[in-house]
């Protein structure tokens, strides 16, 4: 049953990305190009997403388990550090250069966009490199 709800959620999320234009790299780059012919429509998409997510996260924080009976697993707030800033910069750089971020790239991959194939392969390679580097990183004892 949980697989069914995951499938439905993914379908709704993917449809939202298509309808909003976030799976179209040209539209995303138009939003990110403040010096050129700026397209503000994705700002409205983001505000709408925040408007839906904020009350849902507020409700989730008060619950011990999900509506499907699974334990609630919300991220714990952490300090802003070098790794967070570096990762954010890499994410933004990739988004600005290509016009894709992970979710929309999977939708575009399903649409058969060649650019999405290259992006997803590069994304997977980056994830593998990160995991390899993490395993080699010396561990510090918790403070």
Helices (H), 79-137: 82-98, 102-110, 114-136
Residue 88: the pLDDT is 92
Q: How many CB atoms lie within 10 A of CB 54?
A: 10
Q: Is the pTM of this model over 0.75?
A: no
Domain spans in the chain, listed from the N-terminal domain onward? 2-136
Q: Is the pLDDT of residue 51 over 70?
A: yes
Write down the pLDDT at residue 76. Answer: 83
Q: Which of left, alpha, beta for 21 (phi over 0: left; psi -120 to 50: alpha)?
A: left
First-to-last CA distance in the chain? 41
Q: Model confidence over 95-113: pLDDT tens digits?
A: 888 889 888 999 999 888 8
User: Between these two residues, 130 and 143, which has the higher pLDDT value?
Assistant: 130
Confidence tier at 86 by pLDDT (50, 70, 90)? very high
């Amino acid at each position: 049953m949980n697989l069914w709800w995951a499938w439905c959620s993914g379908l709704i999320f993917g449809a939202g990305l298509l309808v909003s234009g976030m799976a179209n790299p040209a539209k995303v780059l138009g939003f990110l190009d403040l010096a050129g012919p700026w397209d503000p429509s994705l700002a409205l998409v983001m505000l709408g997403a925040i408007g839906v997510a904020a009350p849902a996260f507020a409700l989730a924080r008060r619950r011990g388990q999900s509506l499907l009976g699974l334990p609630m697993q919300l991220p714990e707030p952490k300090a802003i550090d070098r790794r967070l800033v570096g990762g954010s910069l890499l994410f933004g750089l990739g988004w600005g250069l290509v016009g894709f971020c992970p979710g929309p790239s999977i939708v575009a991959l399903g649409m058969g966009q060649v650019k999405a194939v290259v992006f997803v392969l590069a994304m997977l390679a980056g994830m593998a490199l990160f995991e390899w580097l993490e395993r080699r990183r010396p561990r510090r004892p918790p403070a």
